[in-house]
């Protein structure tokens, strides 16, 4: 809205950052169980959508474009610095492959779920499925990145956020309660107790705390992230565009992802504070996505979109079960692998703590693997949906 009350960059950034900060403050202050069922992410997206559609803030501004061009690749690099592929594989072993097969289930389930419900959705709604694939393979950062790469509208991104949370309300309790089925599951998969003991012992030795970040660390991180963004920005225009998915924006995100993964094998990964800074920028960006959303018509498409997401998650679950059977994996690893996909770094530790607290550190590492493959696999899922 051009006649909105707040149009200037500073005011918009204040509203977006204040909105994100408020919901996390409220969660911490009240300790309300509401946030166990409806995470702050949903409110962080919805409130700016209400603000922009009622005229409080504008839905179009150069600051939004700047955030897409700069803030998004910056937080992607910071997220990927924490990835430790070698440590995760060493401890989880075949469990990592269960997660990756679960990722394949997400990629294959996306076009199937979309094909069933696309008749009730808009012509560009496949982009919403692509964004949701980013969340279900990696996390919120991947969701935002894929949405930006393929040009997902604010409305379709909103549908993805709603579906993400609707499925989460059912899927998380299932992953938690699966612990009670351990005996039957292990008989089904043929897993040995010896493997469980070795995995838990290895997990106990894992140290993930990089220490308290100081001012110099934040400067290191800012320099690294902006440097990677600058390189990707200048390389992307030289790559061939293949519509509708492989655009210049997509290439930029894929290049940033690749650079971030390369940096995770360097001393840059030891700089403290990268994850915290990245997640702050992620939620600021989600707030920005909400501000650009057009609420009209959102409710009418929410039901079929969510129905398609439930079909999709069922397919992912089948792939997890198949992988656990073929690779002889325990119920704890299988549940963490699925949580690392569907819920990311926010849910995987919750599931791990419920199953066995010793697995919490490695569950975080597994979720970070999801960050690493999330953009690549989600763009593939989006491509398949576009073909449907």
> Tens-digit pLDDT profile for the chain (388 aa)?
457 889 999 999 999 999 999 999 998 899 888 887 777 877 888 899 889 888 899 988 999 989 988 888 898 888 888 777 777 777 777 888 899 999 999 999 999 999 999 988 888 999 999 999 999 998 888 898 899 889 898 888 889 988 988 887 788 888 888 888 888 888 888 876 666 666 666 666 555 667 788 999 999 999 999 999 999 999 988 888 776 666 787 788 888 888 988 998 899 988 998 888 988 888 898 888 788 876 665 666 888 999 999 999 999 999 999 999 998 888 888 999 998 888 777 678 778 878 877 777 778 778 888 888 888 899 999 999 999 8
Q: Which CATH architecture has domain 9-387?
A: Up-down Bundle (1.20)
CB 341 within 8 A of CB 102: yes
The position carrying tokens 């705390």 is 209
Angle at CA of residue 235, ends 233 and 238, nearest 5°: 120
User: Measuring CA to CA, which residue among 88, 101, 90, 92 is closest to residue 326?
Assistant: 101
Alpha carbon 58 to its chain centroid, in Å, reads 27
Domain boundaries, the chain: 9-387
pLDDT at residue number 84: 76
Give the pLDDT confidence score for residue 343 in this predicted structure: 77
Other beta carbons within 10 Å of 319: 22
Task: For residue 334, give Cα distances in angstroms to 98, 195, 382.
Answer: 7, 14, 25
């Amino acid at each position: 809205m051009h006649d909105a009350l707040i149009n200037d960059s500073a005011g918009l950034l204040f509203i977006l950052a204040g909105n994100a900060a408020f919901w996390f403050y409220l969660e911490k202050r009240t300790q309300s169980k509401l946030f166990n069922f409806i995470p702050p992410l949903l409110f962080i997206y919805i409130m700016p959508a209400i603000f922009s559609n009622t005229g409080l803030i504008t839905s179009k501004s150069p600051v939004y474009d700047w955030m897409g061009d700069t803030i998004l690749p910056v937080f992607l690099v910071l997220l990927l610095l924490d990835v430790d592929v070698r440590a995760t594989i060493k401890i989880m072993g075949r469990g990592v492959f269960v997660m990756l097969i679960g990722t394949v289930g997400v990629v294959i389930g996306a076009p199937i779920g979309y094909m069933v419900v696309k008749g009730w959705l808009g012509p560009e709604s496949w982009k919403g499925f692509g964004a949701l694939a980013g969340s279900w393979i990696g996390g919120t950062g991947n969701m935002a990145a894929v949405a930006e790469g393929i040009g997902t509208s604010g409305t379709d991104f909103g549908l993805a956020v709603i579906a993400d949370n609707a499925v989460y309300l059912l899927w998380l309790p299932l992953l938690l309660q699966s612990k009670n089925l351990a005996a039957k599951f292990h008989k089904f998969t043929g897993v040995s107790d010896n493997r469980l003991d070795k995995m838990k012992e290895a997990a106990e030795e894992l140290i993930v705390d990089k220490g308290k970040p100081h001012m110099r660390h934040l400067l290191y991180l800012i320099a690294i992230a902006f440097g990677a963004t600058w390189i990707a920005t200048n390389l992307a225009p030289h790559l061939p565009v293949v519509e509708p998915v492989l655009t210049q924006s997509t290439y930029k995100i894929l290049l940033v992802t690749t650079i971030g993964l390369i940096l995770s094998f360097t001393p840059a990964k030891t700089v403290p504070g990268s994850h915290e800074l990245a997640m702050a920028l992620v939620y600021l960006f989600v707030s920005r996505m909400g501000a650009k959303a057009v609420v009209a018509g959102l409710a009418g498409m929410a039901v079929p979109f969510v129905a398609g997401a439930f079909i999709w998650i069922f397919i992912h679950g089948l792939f997890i079960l198949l992988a656990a059977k073929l690779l002889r994996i325990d119920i704890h690893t299988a549940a963490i692998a699925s949580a690392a996909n569907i819920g990311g770094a926010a849910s995987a530790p919750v599931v791990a703590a419920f199953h066995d607290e010793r697995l919490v550190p490695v569950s975080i590492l597994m979720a970070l693997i999801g960050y690493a493959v999330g953009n690549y696999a989600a763009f593939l899922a989006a491509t398949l949906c576009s073909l449907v």
